[in-house]
Amino acid sequence: MSDTKRTLIRFAFFACAICTASHGLGASISTAPFGATQQGQAVARYTLSNARGVTMNCITYGGIVTRLDVPDRRGRRADIVLGFGSLGDYEKYNGKIHFGGLIGRYANRIADGRFELDGHSYKLPVNEPPNTLHGGPHGFDEKVWTVVRTFQGAQGAGVQLRYVSPDGENGFPGTLTVDVTYTLTDDNEVRIDYRAKTDKPTVVNLTNHSYFNLAGEGSGTVEGQLIMIAASSYTPVRADSIPTGEIASVESTPLDLRALTPIGARLRSSNQQMRYAHGYDHNWKLNKSGQRNGEAAFAARAYDPSSGRVLDVYTTQPGMQFYAGNGLDGSVIGTSGTAYRQTDGFALEAQHFPDSPNRPAFPSTELKPGDEYHEVTVWKFGVR
């Protein structure tokens, strides 16, 4: 039996439901204004609520998840994502920090801001010298998305957002139509469906960049919270965080997170990979054991002993970027008025591998006309 399966069995009871309200109420959705951008574009906030006390707020600016309230083992609710209290702060800081945003066209890094596709060379703007990060400056998490539809019913409550990225935006070829649907279910799941179509061959890699703190936003460091990633290998990086092209075993490294491990336990390791990233900021190649017919497979688990909150992540994506908030330096003030510092939150970004357009051996991120990009990530909440 694998380490992953043993851990899943050991903590199977994590999946128990958080029961704080009648099941019969069902999930619901409401909306309210959230101000206007500096360019005068109106922004709306959508609130998804279920019958068990989970509430999620997202805004049309960047598709950002601004708040996610989840009960603890005693039924006490707290916001578990980092964020800001105003649209102005998201506009000011999110191009660098990416709190809760939808990332595209290409999540993670592309080496030297260049790639070739079908015999054509493409140059992207460099925003993390010498590389392009998260699609370049003014990426998808800084765009105002259009609401295509809202819904509520037996499948949950949700909102479908759309952004049309014009041909040549940030150097990427093709007009790309992106639809992202957030759904909150009464099973305490947030499901994120990513879909995209193009009119020219292009590359696509989409994710959500929420930072979690399962003890509650503004509660301080997550070093005592536990993390598990269902991955036996990862993609080592150079000093500039670009993959070397190797797929290496996690065995006997600080990146072996196949069993629940305190985030802070190996954070200051002298391991060269940890030194390059100043902590955890790496891509794991997911095992995805038991996955069938392209369904979302178990990928990661986070657990906070103090509150009992558990987050399980399932995804169809091949990789998981685990980031321990290394760049937070106290310079921004969050939703609760607290300055965010290193390790005050962590991100679990389900995605394709960094620099895949320049690495033919990695899973392909190419999208051609007539094909549809479709990936799913699920956040499932429970308590221990």
Residue 328 belongs to domain with CATH number: 2.70.98.10
Residue 365 has a pLDDT of 98
76: number of Cβ within 10 Å: 12
Res 351 pLDDT > 60: yes
Res 175 pLDDT > 70: yes
Residue 188 has a pLDDT of 97
Residue 131 has a pLDDT of 98
Structure tokens at 251: 């065995």
Helix (H, G, I), strand (E, B) or coil at 372: coil
Q: For 22-29, what is the mean pLDDT?
A: 70
109 is in an annotated binding site: yes
Residue 40 has a pLDDT of 97
Residue 288 has a pLDDT of 83
Q: Which amino acid is at 182?
A: Y
Q: Which amino acid is at 112?
A: D
Structure tokens at 88: 């102005």
Q: What is the mean pLDDT of the chain?
A: 93
331 is in an annotated binding site: no
**How big is the chain, counted in residues?**
384
Distance between CA 20 and CA 94 in Å, rounded? 34
The DSSP result for 183-245, as a single string, is EE-TTSEEEEEEEEEESS-EE-B-EE--EE-TT-TTS---TTSEEEE--SEE--B-TTS-B-S
Is the distance from CB of 317 to CB of 352 less than 8 angstroms? yes
Is the distance from CB of 205 to CB of 107 less than 8 angstroms? yes
Residue 155 has a pLDDT of 85
Largest CA-CA distance found in the chain, in angstroms, rounded: 59
Q: For 166-188, what is the mean pLDDT?
A: 98
Res 12 pLDDT > 50: no
Domain count for the chain, please give it: 1
Q: Which residues pair with 346 in a beta bridge?
A: 212
Res 19 pLDDT > 50: no
Q: What percent of the chain has pLDDT over 90?
A: 91
Give the least confident one: 23-37, 103-117, 127-141, 366-380. 23-37
Is the distance from CB of 219 to CB of 343 less than 8 angstroms? no
Helix (H, G, I), strand (E, B) or coil at 269: coil
Q: For 349-360, what is the mean pLDDT?
A: 98
Confidence of residue 17 (pLDDT cuts 50, 70, 90): very low
Range of the domain at 160: 3-383
Give the least confident one: 2-6, 116-120, 275-279. 2-6
- Residues recognised as catalytic: 209, 349
Res 368 pLDDT > 60: yes
Please enumerate in sequence order all residues whose Cβ is within 8 A of that of 12, keeping only pairs 6 or more positions apart, or say none. Answer: none
Instruction: State phi, psi for 139 to the nearest 5 degrees.
Output: -75, -165
Res 256 pLDDT > 70: yes
Q: For 296-306, what is the mean pLDDT?
A: 97
The DSSP result for 84-135, as a single string, is -SSHHHHHHHHHHH-TT-EE-SB-SEEGGGEEEETTEEEE---SBTTBEETT
* Residue closest to 280 by CA, chosen among 254, 300, 301, 306: 254
73 is in an annotated binding site: no
281 is in an annotated binding site: yes
Res 220 pLDDT > 90: yes
User: pTM of the full predicted structure?
Assistant: 0.93
Please enumerate in sequence order all residues whose Cβ is within 8 A of that of 237, keeping only pairs 6 or more positions apart, or say none. Answer: 243, 244, 273, 276, 277, 282, 354
The CA dihedral of 44, 49, 54, 59, to the nearest 10 degrees, is: -10
Residue 96 has a pLDDT of 93
